[in-house]
Structure 1
Amino acid sequence: MKEKATGTSYAKIIFFGEHSVVYGKPAVAIPLYSVDVSATLERTVIGQTIHCRYFDGPISQMNDNLQGVRVLIDRLLNLFEANELSFRLTIESKVPAERGMGSSAATAIALVRAFFNLFEKPLSRLELLTLADIEEKITHGNPSGLDAATASSEAPIWFIKNQVNEQIEFHRSNLCLVIADSGIKGKTSEAVSLVHNNLIDEPDMAMPLIDQLGQIATTARQALADSDQVTLGRLMSQSQTDLAKLGVSTKALDQFCQIAITYNALGAKLTGSGLGGCMIALAKNQRDAQIIATKLRQAGATQTWIQSFKNYEFTTGEQHDNLVK
């Protein structure tokens, strides 16, 4: 066993398939390396303490809103037969809460990796996701698994609810993704209910939009493999149009998308449930991305991030997260 160990994970962004994924259509999600979470375990003489942005003190006294984390820690200690282990756990997260970026899943992934690192044990991807799901079920009730799969991945994720959850081929390029936070908390349940009501009240309008969003995700998968930047940009903007028609965009998100296009973005759209949260824009290169990010901050974005496509990897087969993450 080590004296100190760290585990890391990433924020997630839904690239394509918002809302349509709820109705069995495919979605593409990507990890954001520039928005990460780290969990560091240090062995101590006495006690078990946690230090994070929501709580600082003994793990046994953690707030109810962190129940998922507490239960996951207990399960991991049981797994390694180390319930009496004394340690200090520090969680540092760049992932903003309630922005649809998978904050809780990223925390769970980092935690599991840190414990396996501390005990110097190999960790399969299946075991990682199974353990992270312990926290996610407590925090979210019935998680799809998409957040944890993406937070733990080195590549984009292809996801179909209750059917497929896999890493997909990704062609590295000079493209960059700009993410901008509107500063408004996303309203997931309200947005999902809104789309559901549209499907009931106006099926002739809403159902074709859901179908098209699913087809867009399918086309985008191939465009990602081919690095077809023109198609990717067009699909993003079409997605934004469809999501706005479904009623889940906002004036701020619409404005951000228009600003990004004005400053040479290939495409732009909201990401996540909408009614707040973040938008994303596709830039041809780092220079364009920096300009777009600057203009978005000037327009009121509270934070921006840039993710280069050069950094993504694609792995096949059984993936082990062993000791270096």
Structure 2
Amino acid sequence: MIVAIVETCSASAPAKVIITGEHWVVHGSAALAAAVGLRSRVKCMEARGPGITIKSLRLGSFTFTLGQDSCRGPHCGFYYAASRIVEVCGEAKPATCIVDSDIPIGAGLGSSASVAVSFSAAYLALCRGGKDLSLSDVSNAASGFEKFVHGNPSGIDTAVVLHGGFIVYRRGEGIIMRINESLADTDAVVLIVDTGIARSTKEAVAAFTQNLSRLGSFSKILVNLAEQITWEVVGSLKARDTKRLGSLLYLSHGLLSALGVSHEKLEEIVQAARAEGALGAKLTGAGMGGTALVLAAREHSHRLEKIYESKGFKVYKATLGVPGLQINCDVSGRAAMVEGT
């Protein structure tokens, strides 16, 4: 009998920026994040086995077999994600997965979360034959990947790259609001400015937490203030009030900088934004390097972009609120023995 056999499944997921609430979200505050129009892509194909082979220009090529008690090496994020998928599917299907990404690593744009979601979705779809896919299963597998990479992630990166758009997120509750807004028809342009300084999210989270804990009971006041800032930003976004939004971005950056997660290059970016009259600017993501988010008036954005490039920074014009996870499986007709035929 000729039956449809799924031989290849592909998935892609966007990058993300945290507009406000990074670091604070680990301590209970709400955070606002948006999916950005840079993407990772993973294509998983049936293999004769054994094991799962990952091929990546950034990470190289490696093969692993599931069932070990522990894992060591750069591939372990894939290992832990695949292990969770096998718990759902019931079998470890041999596969070759090709990984590609436009997203800079260590820049605060959720590169690992994007790859985690793309890989988890592509391999899960392959194991499930392209059927009965659950976003919660993809999220669970991707969180295994992210825990290996970051240690104690808030979960916001995985949530926004999975669902896309704008989301308000709280740790322990997940997505508490989706926002269907855009800055495309306003007088503002969003620039993502990359310092080129790679940093460790684990180290940044640890430094922020340590600095916050030194403030004792006052830390609760700051966490509450960060919460208020997030909701003020949401209100400004809905009202398309770009001037107020920009002022809140500067305020958010000031708090993060005071708690030790900025960097001299990030400060240079923010200071240049102020000097050129940009509406707002702040670090985005873990800080200590990575990227900054700059909100500029449309008529001034080109000049600001050239200034940053002259200083050696890489600049991306950002489209915020793009779609999240996308999956496609190729089906071919192939001779197969089917029980009962």
- Report the TM-score range of the alignment, normalised by the length of the smaller protein: 0.7 to 0.9
1:107 aligns with 2:111: no
1:43 aligns with 2:63: no
Q: Equivalent residue of 1:244, what SS?
A: helix
Q: Equivalent residue of 2:6, what SS?
A: coil
Give, in whole Å, the separation in 2 of the partners of 1:142 and 1:227: 34
Give, in whole Å, the separation in 1 of the partners of 2:93 and 2:216: 57
8 Å Cα contact 1:13-1:30 kept in structure 2: yes
Please name the residue that 2:170 is paired with.
160
Structure 1 residue 101: deviation in Å?
2.5
Higher strand residue share: 2
Q: Equivalent residue of 2:316, what SS?
A: strand
Please name the residue that 1:247 is paired with.
260
Structure 1 residue 46: deviation in Å?
5.3
Moved over 6 A (4+): none
Q: 1:76 aligns with which of 60, 75, 85?
A: 85
Q: Which amino acid aligns with 2:59?
A: Y
Q: CA offsets per residue over residues 263-308 of structure 1, 9 Å max, x none?
A: 45321011122222211111344x654443332122121x322222
Please name the residue that 2:312 is paired with.
300
- Matched positions, count: 314
Report the more deviating stretch, 45-54 or 14-23: 45-54
- The correspondence of residues 191-206 of structure 1 with structure 2, limited to 5 A, is 191-202=204-215
Please name the residue that 1:126 is paired with.
136
Q: 1:98 aligns with which of 100, 106, 118?
A: 106
8 Å Cα contact 2:266-2:292 kept in structure 1: yes
Rg larger for: 2
Give, in whole Å, the separation in 1 of the partners of 2:322 and 2:62: 37
Please name the residue that 2:336 is paired with.
none
Q: Equivalent residue of 2:36, what SS?
A: strand
**Larger RCO: 1 or 2 (CA < 8 Å, sep 6+):** 2
Q: 1:259 aligns with which of 240, 255, 272?
A: 272
Give, in whole Å, the separation in 2 of the partners of 1:91 and 1:322: 14
Give, in whole Å, the separation in 1 of the partners of 2:137 and 2:15: 20
8 Å Cα contact 1:256-1:299 kept in structure 2: no
8 Å Cα contact 1:123-1:321 kept in structure 2: no
Q: Which amino acid aligns with 1:24?
A: G
Please name the residue that 2:248 is paired with.
235
Return the TM-score normalized by structure 1: 0.83
Structure 1 gaps of 5+ residues are 314-318
Q: 1:169 aligns with which of 163, 169, 179?
A: 179
Q: CA offsets per residue over residues 18-63 of structure 1, 9 Å max, x none?
A: 2322321111111112x21100123345554220121314334996
Please name the residue that 1:316 is paired with.
none
Give, in whole Å, the separation in 2 of the partners of 1:199 and 1:57: 40
Q: 1:31 aligns with which of 23, 26, 35?
A: 35
- The correspondence of residues 276-287 of structure 1 with structure 2, limited to 5 A, is 276-285=289-298
Give, in whole Å, the separation in 2 of the partners of 1:142 and 1:160: 14
Return the TM-score normalized by structure 2: 0.80
Q: Equivalent residue of 1:152, what SS?
A: helix
Q: 2:76 aligns with which of 32, 47, 67?
A: 67
8 Å Cα contact 1:41-1:88 kept in structure 2: yes
Structure 1 residue 177: deviation in Å?
2.1
8 Å Cα contact 1:153-1:167 kept in structure 2: no
Q: Equivalent residue of 2:39, what SS?
A: strand
